[in-house]
């Protein structure tokens, strides 16, 4: 799997402390190949790996996991993020709420219509299925059979060849008969076709659905992306349904489609049974694409251990009044990683004061970080040596000005004062418990 491949690519990294430009290149290639193998569109795979490279560069390699494992975790996080981060629900607005299904023939629309009806019925809402495939009489029967199977009424007008009329009539029927959700199953062609597009556009315009879903067969690989793009250009759909994920498809289509049309994937369909429907969870799909087992949790545990050790180490230094710029930088990185900055700044003694006049987002730390990174190891360890000329050099080196450098020095000194005071207080109280 990818993790082992990455371990190999990372052989050269052994003994080095962090991921750098040179040692990451081979790995990035390996990741790109793995993504393309999983049916991710080449262009998307390239964009993704460029992002991953930025993310990976300079990350410390933890001692308890292999660099390949760490890299896999970085890739996993990035893929999850790219696929939307969290699951997104279908929107049911209006009385009745109308859901319009679109997609090519054979993509799984009719099957999905039955599944979605089952899904919504379970939430105690009344559903009406509407047969709008006017080209194949068998399609109406197929939906009727499904409707019967799941206990949902099916509306159809076998002699009417106008899908706009049928869907409008169906909505009126739903209102009269107290159906809260209307699911409209439409016709599809084997390939994108102008008449089909016009037809479904017209239906959408006429009924203004609260949700237009694009249904696509995940086994169609690269084609899925082009089809999605064409449908989205014409329909501006709200979400994607990925079908036939019970096959050996690796799910790369999910990533490509999300990246190309920027619409959320809402459901995945994993079989012909009516229960075989799942919400789309980006993290599960990322795992599927990468084809890995428990690497993620392994790395997460190691990361946590690393963070705990680091916190202990810094605490020690605070107690001994040895807190320096290396520690400051490490704390900044910790805070950024943890996300919600506003909640966290108060956790480090003096830190909230040091950054009180900056807006709290990741960018806010950039000048501070670049100033610290411009320091020599000696300057970081013993900030007292930072005289006027050294400070001017730092300003130049970090692309800031002397005012910003002086501010940082002042804030840093204030922080250390707070720490010293706290140390005194807690030692007079006879222990460190208060501080912790
Ligand atoms: P439509 O033309 O878009 O309405 O597609 P259908 O719903 O008629 O499905 C086409 C074929 O794919 C049928 O044989 C379905 O049983 C099958 N199918 C639909 N969804 C799935 C799925 O999630 N997994 C599998 N294995 N087959 C599916
Ligand atoms: Mg159909």
For a mutational test of ligand 1's pocket, the pick from 101, 110, 111, i.e. the residue with the most ligand atoms closer than 8 A to its C-beta, is 111
Tally of domains in the chain: 3
List of residues 6+ apart from 366 with CB closer than 8 A: none
Q: Which ligand is nearest to the CA of 143?
A: 2
Q: What is the H or E stretch that residue 129 is in?
A: strand 127-132
The CATH number of residue 327's host domain is: 1.10.260.30
Terminal Cα-to-Cα distance of the chain (whole angstroms): 43
Query: Are 198 and 332 in a shared domain?
Result: no
Query: Are 223 and 356 in a shared domain?
Result: no
Query: Are 110 and 237 in a shared domain?
Result: yes
Query: Are 79 and 119 in a shared domain?
Result: no
The CATH number of residue 142's host domain is: 3.40.50.300
221 is in an annotated binding site: no
Q: Which ligand is nearest to the CA of 245?
A: 1
Residue 366 falls inside a structural domain: yes
- Of 61-75, 110-124, 321-335, 415-429, the range with the highest mean pLDDT is 110-124
Q: Which of 56, 85, 114 is the last residue of a domain?
A: 85
- Of 17-26, 144-153, 238-247, 273-282, the range with the highest mean pLDDT is 144-153
pLDDT tens by residue, 157-205: 999 999 999 999 999 999 999 999 999 999 988 888 898 899 999 999 9
Q: Which ligand is nearest to the CA of 215?
A: 1
Edge-to-edge strand ranges of the sheet holding 97-102: 153-155, 127-132, 181-186, 97-102, 211-217, 239-243, 265-269, 277-279
Q: Which of 26, 59, 85 is the last residue of a domain?
A: 85
Does residue 305 register a pLDDT over 60?
A: yes
Contacts 24+ apart (CB under 8 A), 4-13: 4/68, 5/30, 5/34, 5/68, 6/30, 6/31, 6/67, 6/68, 6/69, 6/71, 6/72, 7/66, 7/67, 7/68, 7/69, 8/68, 9/68, 10/66, 10/67, 10/68, 10/71, 13/61, 13/67
Query: Are 57 and 108 in a shared domain?
Result: no
Residue 432's pLDDT band (boundaries 50, 70, 90)? very low
Report the atom number in ligand 1 closest to the C-alpha of 142. 8
Residue 263's pLDDT band (boundaries 50, 70, 90)? very high
For residues 48 and 111, the model is more confident at 111
Residue 312 falls inside a structural domain: no
110 is in an annotated binding site: yes
Judged by average pLDDT, the poorest of 83-97, 176-190, 303-317 is 303-317
Does residue 272 register a pLDDT over 50?
A: yes
**Residue 350 CA, distance from chain mean position:** 34
Residue 288 falls inside a structural domain: no
Q: How many CB atoms lie within 10 A of CB 417?
A: 12
186 is in an annotated binding site: yes
Residue 78 falls inside a structural domain: yes
Does residue 13 register a pLDDT over 50?
A: no
**Strand 181-186 relative to strand 211-217, pairing:** unpaired
Domain of residue 254, residue span: 97-280
Residue 295's pLDDT band (boundaries 50, 70, 90)? low
Q: Which of 280, 304, 328 is the last residue of a domain?
A: 280
The CATH number of residue 51's host domain is: 1.20.120.140
**Averaged pLDDT, 206-227:** 92
Q: What is the H or E stretch that residue 386 is in?
A: none
Report the atom number in ligand 1 closest to the C-alpha of 271. 24
Query: Are 110 and 152 in a shared domain?
Result: yes
Report the separation in Å between the CA atom of 108 and the middle of ligand 1, taken as the mean of its atom positions.
Answer: 4
Residues with CB under 6 A from ligand 1: 103, 105-111, 188, 243-244, 246, 269-272, 276
Does residue 63 register a pLDDT over 90?
A: no
pLDDT of 316 reads 86
Report the separation in Å between the CA atom of 362 and the middle of ligand 2, taken as the mean of its atom positions.
Answer: 48
Residue 120 falls inside a structural domain: yes
Residue 343's pLDDT band (boundaries 50, 70, 90)? very low
pLDDT of 222 reads 78
Judged by average pLDDT, the poorest of 92-96, 143-147, 294-298 is 294-298
**Averaged pLDDT, 40-67:** 77
Query: Are 29 and 111 in a shared domain?
Result: no
Q: Is the pTM higher than 0.90?
A: no
388 is in an annotated binding site: no
Residue 433 falls inside a structural domain: no
Does residue 297 register a pLDDT over 60?
A: no
Report the separation in Å between the CA atom of 133 and the middle of ligand 2, taken as the mean of its atom positions.
Answer: 7
Rg of the Cα atoms in the chain: 29
Q: Whose CA is nearest to atom 5 of ligand 1?
A: 108
List of residues 6+ apart from 308 with CB closer than 8 A: none
Does residue 319 register a pLDDT over 50?
A: yes
Residue 231 falls inside a structural domain: yes
Residue 150 three-state SS: helix
Residue 434's pLDDT band (boundaries 50, 70, 90)? very low
Residue 204 falls inside a structural domain: yes
Does residue 14 register a pLDDT over 50?
A: no
For a mutational test of ligand 1's pocket, the pick from 105, 272, 273, 280, i.e. the residue with the most ligand atoms closer than 8 A to its C-beta, is 272
Query: Are 115 and 55 in a shared domain?
Result: no
Query: Are 112 and 68 in a shared domain?
Result: no
**Averaged pLDDT, 105-109:** 94
Query: Are 165 and 234 in a shared domain?
Result: yes
Query: Are 240 and 274 in a shared domain?
Result: yes
Query: Are 325 and 383 in a shared domain?
Result: yes
Q: Look over the chain and give the mean of its residue pLDDT values, rounded to a whole number.
A: 83
């Amino acid at each position: 799997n990818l993790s082992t491949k990455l371990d190999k690519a990372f052989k050269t990294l052994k003994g080095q402390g962090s991921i750098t430009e040179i040692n990451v290149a081979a790995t990035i290639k390996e990741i790109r190949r793995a993504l393309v193998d999983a049916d991710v569109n080449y262009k998307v795979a390239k964009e993704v790996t460029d992002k991953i490279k930025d993310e990976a560069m300079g990350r410390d390699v933890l001692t308890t996991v292999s660099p390949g494992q760490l890299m896999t975790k970085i890739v996993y996080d990035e893929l999850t993020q790219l696929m939307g981060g969290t699951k997104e629900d279908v929107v049911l607005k209006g009385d009745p709420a109308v859901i319009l299904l679109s997609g090519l023939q054979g993509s799984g629309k009719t099957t999905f219509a039955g599944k979605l009806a089952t899904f919504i019925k379970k939430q105690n809402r009344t559903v009406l299925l509407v047969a709008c495939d006017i080209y194949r009489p068998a399609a109406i029967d197929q939906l009727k059979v499904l409707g019967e199977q799941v206990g949902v009424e099916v509306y159809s007008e076998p002699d009417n060849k106008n899908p706009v009329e049928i869907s409008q009539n169906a909505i009126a029927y739903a209102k009269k008969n107290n159906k809260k959700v209307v699911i409209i199953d439409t016709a599809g062609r084997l390939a994108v076709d102008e008449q089909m597009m016009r037809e479904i556009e017209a239906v959408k315009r006429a009924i203004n659905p609260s949700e237009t879903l694009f249904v696509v067969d995940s086994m169609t690989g690269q084609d899925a992306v082009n089809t999605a793009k064409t449908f989205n250009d014409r329909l501006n759909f709200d979400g994607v349904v990925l079908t036939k994920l019970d096959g050996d498809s690796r799910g790369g289509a999910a990533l490509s489609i999300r990246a190309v049309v920027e619409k959320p994937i809402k459901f995945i369909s994993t079989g012909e049974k009516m229960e075989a429907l799942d919400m789309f969870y980006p993290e599960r799909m990322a795992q599927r694409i990468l084809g890995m087992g428990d690497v993620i949790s392994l790395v997460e545990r190691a990361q946590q251990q690393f963070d705990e050790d680091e916190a202990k180490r810094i605490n020690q230094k605070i107690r001994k009044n040895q807190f320096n710029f290396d520690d400051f930088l490490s704390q900044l990185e910790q805070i950024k990683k943890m996300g919600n900055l506003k909640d966290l700044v108060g956790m480090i003694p003096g830190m909230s004061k040091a950054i009180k006049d900056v807006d709290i987002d990741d960018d806010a730390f950039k000048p501070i970080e670049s100033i610290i990174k411009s320091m020599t190891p000696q300057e970081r360890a013993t900030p007292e040596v930072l005289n006027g000329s050294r400070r001017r050099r730092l300003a130049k080196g970090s692309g800031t000005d002397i005012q910003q450098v002086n501010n940082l020095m002042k804030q840093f000194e204030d922080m250390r004062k707070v720490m010293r005071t706290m140390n005194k207080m807690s030692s007079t109280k006879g222990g460190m418990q208060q501080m912790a």
